[in-house]
Amino acid sequence: MTSELTGAALTAQGKQRIEWAERDMPVLRAIRERFGKEKPLAGLALSACLHVTAETANLLRTLQAAGADVLLVASNPLSTQDDVAAALPLEYGIQVMAKRGEDRDAFFSHIRAALERKPRITMDDGADLISTAHKEYPDAALGIMGSMEETTTGVIRLRAMAKDGALKIPVVAVNDAKTKNLFDNRYGTGQSTLDGIVRATGALVAGSTFVVAGYGWCGKGLAMRARGMGANVIVTEVDSLKALEAVMDGFRVVPMAEAAALGNIFCTVTGDVNVIDTDHFRAMRDGAVVCNSGHFDVEVNVKSLGVLAKGEPREVKANVREYILSDGSGKEKRIYLLGEGRLVNLAAAEGHPASVMDMSFATQALAAEWVVKQQGQLRPEVYNVPAEIEEYVARLKLASMGVAIDVLTPEQERYLADWQEGT
């Protein structure tokens, strides 16, 4: 999301949006209040490489209240909300190094600066901070007592490092917590991806053929929401079980080679490379809209689209690039790429709603506290979020929504523990 404002007006808008997000983050607010009293991260340098959004600002405020000395850098060059980046240092005294649209050099220079201050705790969204630490700053890596990872792609990278024996620090897979992926990946991605597509294009989703590549939690959420808006949803998959799940959820499942000629809107959420590739572009209809909501900008082969296109692509609207191709019969067709093939929900909209980030970031904050409490006892492995943290976050979220649930009676507890009961 771009902002036209500058200076004091930009900062004021950032503060307003951070406060607006805070309203919908009751679990994080409760944690911030406790952290303010107990200071569990007192005096610790903490570097976070996350999307610079109003929701992330509230996480950083929570970590600051816990006594940490925090610095925030971007986890994607196009996801930074410049108003938030302006408000954080001026209104909350939190250092930020990030600018929307920063180039690769600036992006990595910020990541390097985040490591050069020798953080004791880190937070990552996509594992760029930790992988740069291991490649370029082995000393800094050794000083990190633990790191948190926010996204599926990052956890996959970290598990690969652990498998190779390359991981030097303990990492908590926040992404793998149910309080994260069941809600943020599914409902957050579902809603914010459609928000990005609609803001960028103004397309009518009803009646369109909407192709979702990948049926993990993000793909499930996106397919469900696109169907809810009246699209004919096609799912593509490489995993038999996930494909079967999509079929039984009532979606049409076909290979991308077939879907390419059918879709009006395509969105990748796979975590893999070149899921939409040269032959798929060749098969697409005139006016096809193509975007990605996976972490890295590798899922749509943008380079190949550029090679197929006649001349240079044209920015026809904010976040919409038009590529003109020959349709094979002497006529022209247009393909529209959203947000340069980067995360469309953050490039063209504001990311997931605060209410769902509340759970993800409450889990992040409590995982950081847990790492500090475990100091000296964790090994360089990928850890799951402790069950008590997940239970606590879910309980607080339900309470904030005014939802009460039943409690097992002593008789029911005994029954569940008794293996001798039966027919």
- Nearest CB to ligand ADE, comparing residues 72 and 309: 72
SS3 351: coil
CA distances from 102 to 9, 80, 319 (A): 21, 9, 15
Provide CB contacts within 8 A for 406, sequence distance 6+. none
- C-beta of residue 283 within 8 angstroms of C-beta of residue 256: no
Of residues 218 and 290, the one with the C-beta less far from ligand ADE: 218
What's the min distance (Å) between Cβ of 350 and ligand ADE? 6
User: For 123, phi and psi rounded to 5 degrees?
Assistant: -135, 135
At 213, list the tokens. Answer: 């590549």
Contact residues toward ligand ADE (CB under 6 A) are 50-51, 53, 55-56, 188, 192, 346, 351-352, 357
Closer Cβ to ligand ADE, 55 or 102, answer by number: 55
DSSP per position, 356-370: HHHHHHHHHHHHHHH
The secondary structure of 69-130 as a DSSP string is EEEEEESSTT---HHHHHHHHHHH--EEE--TT--HHHHHHHHHHHHHT--SEEEESSSHHH
The least CB distance from residue 81 to ligand ADE, in Å, is: 9
Work out how close the CB of 243 gets to ligand ADE at its nearest, in angstroms, rounded to a whole number: 26
Least distance to ligand ADE, CB of residue 329, Å: 41
In the bound complex, what is the minimum distance in angstroms from residue 158's beta carbon to ligand ADE?
18
CA distance 147 to 128: 12
Please report, in angstroms and rounded to a whole number, the separation of the first and last CA atoms in the chain: 60
Q: Cβ 55 to ligand ADE, closest distance in Å?
A: 4
Residue 345 beta carbon to ligand ADE: minimum distance, rounded to whole angstroms = 6
CB nearer ligand ADE, residue 13 or residue 192: 192
Helix H or strand E segment including 62: helix 54-65
Q: Which residue has the tokens 């076909």?
A: 254
Q: Which is nearer to ligand ADE, 340 or 350 (CB)?
A: 350
For ligand ADE, the closer of residues 130 and 234 by Cβ is 130
Type of residue at 188: G
Helix (H, G, I), strand (E, B) or coil at 22: helix
Smaller CB separation from ligand ADE, 17 or 321: 17
Which one, 80 or 131, has the nearer CB to ligand ADE? 80
CB of 23 to ligand ADE, least distance (A): 14
Identity of the residue, 309 or 357, whose beta carbon is nearer to ligand ADE in the bound complex: 357
Whichever of 221 and 263 has its CB closer to ligand ADE, that residue is 221
CA 173 to chain CA centroid, Å, is: 13
**Torsion angle, alpha carbons of 40, 41, 43, 45, to 10:** 180
Task: Provide, rounded to whole angstroms, the least separation between the CB of residue 28 and ligand ADE.
Answer: 12
Tell me the closest approach of the beta carbon of residue 318 to ligand ADE, in angstroms.
Answer: 19
CB of 186 to ligand ADE, least distance (A): 12
- Degrees to nearest 5, angle at CA 119 with 387 and 178: 20
Q: Helix/strand/coil (H, E, C) string of 28-60?
A: HHHHHHHHHHHCCCCCCEEEEEECCCHHHHHHH
Closest residue to bound ligand ADE by CB: 351
Dist CA 80 CA 54 (whole Å): 10
Taking residue 422's Cβ as centre, other Cβ atoms within 10 Å add up to 5
The three-class DSSP label of residue 285 is: coil
Reading the block at residue 131, the tokens are: 């992988």
Of 309 and 367, CB closest to ligand ADE: 367
